[in-house]
Amino acid sequence: MKPVAIFRHLTIEGPGYLAQFLDRHAIPWQLIRIDAGDPVPPAAEVFSGLVFMGGPMSVNDDLPWILQEFALIRDAYTKDIPLLGHCLGGQLISKALGGVVSRNPVKEIGWGEVAVSDNTTARAWFGGIERFDSFHWHGETFSLPPGAVHLLGSAHCANQAYVLGKHLALQCHVEVNEQMVRDWCEFGAREIAAECHNSAVQSAHTMQVQMHEKLPPLHHVAERLYGQWLQGVLPGNG
């Protein structure tokens, strides 16, 4: 089968648990390192799915690769090639497909509960999961593009996930592993310090202490979501 393309925008924001999931299911994938200068492919049909990871930039920044990724996302959507976005990636999908990305009321950093929406689509994606603790690191938020169905929300961010057909966009991070949490805490130390009075931001120490308890159930959720998304990727399931 054609590989899944995974777009990385910062070295420490790679596919994480998603890579383990794809390898375990023998799904070929190709890492496109935007942070290292890899070009954005001109068309989507050479891939079975497109995955966009996070990053510290904004989708509203004037960066040439952002416009190229918008065009690729729209191409994939037109050709019904499954899209999956994590944080910045979810925002890229939203803006490319007619949504708006704007400042969230507060920065949300660390572990926090998200609630699954009460609709049939959300139940199909999450099964019996009604709420769970996810990892967060964002200052902006997306609106739902036309036709999208709300999947997740939290106390600090109303739109944490949506689905649009076989396309899934997440604001929260279900892909993180232990090393990613450690790396992000080090990379974002100044940002954490600047938000010390924000109740939606945890200390680096708290994030890393809690990850041992929080990661296994989060990966259970990731398994469920990635498994559902994979149904659109596998040949014969389109």
Judge contact between 6 and 33, C-beta under 8 A.
no
Q: pLDDT by residue (tens digit) across 163-215?
A: 999 999 999 999 999 999 999 999 999 999 999 899 999 999 999 999 999 99
Smallest CA-to-CA distance from 136 within 86, 183, 99 is with: 86
Q: Does 238 fall in a domain? A: no
Predicted local confidence at residue 89, as pLDDT:
98
Judge contact between 139 and 103, C-beta under 8 A.
yes
Judge contact between 13 and 55, C-beta under 8 A.
yes
Arithmetic mean of pLDDT, 16-25:
98
Alpha carbons 49 and 148: distance in angstroms, whole number: 18
Q: Domain of 206: which CATH number?
A: 3.40.50.880
Q: Does 83 fall in a domain? A: yes
Share of the chain above pLDDT 90, in %: 98
* Band of residue 113 on the pLDDT scale cut at 50, 70, 90: very high
Q: Which helix (H) or strand (E) holds 20?
A: helix 17-24
Give the pairing of strands 167-170 and 83-86. parallel
Q: pLDDT by residue (tens digit) across 28-37?
A: 999 999 999 9
236: pLDDT strictly greater than 90? no
Domain count, the chain: 1
Return left, alpha or beta for 77; rule: phi > 0 is left, psi -120 to 50 is alpha, else beta: alpha
Share of the chain above pLDDT 70, in %: 99
Side chain identity at residue 129, one-letter code: I
Per-residue burial over 152-190, b if 16 or more Cβ lie within 10 Å, else e, is bbbebbebbbbbbebbbbbbbbbbbbeebbebbbeebee
Beta-ladder partners of 131: 115
Domain extent for 152: 4-233
* Band of residue 238 on the pLDDT scale cut at 50, 70, 90: low
* Band of residue 231 on the pLDDT scale cut at 50, 70, 90: very high
Q: What is the DSSP letter of 173?
A: B
* Band of residue 237 on the pLDDT scale cut at 50, 70, 90: low
Who contacts 127 (Cβ-Cβ below 8 Å, separation ≥6)? 224
Mean pLDDT lowest for which of 96-100, 169-173, 231-235? Answer: 231-235
Alpha carbons 147 and 32: distance in angstroms, whole number: 29
Beta-ladder partners of 108: 138
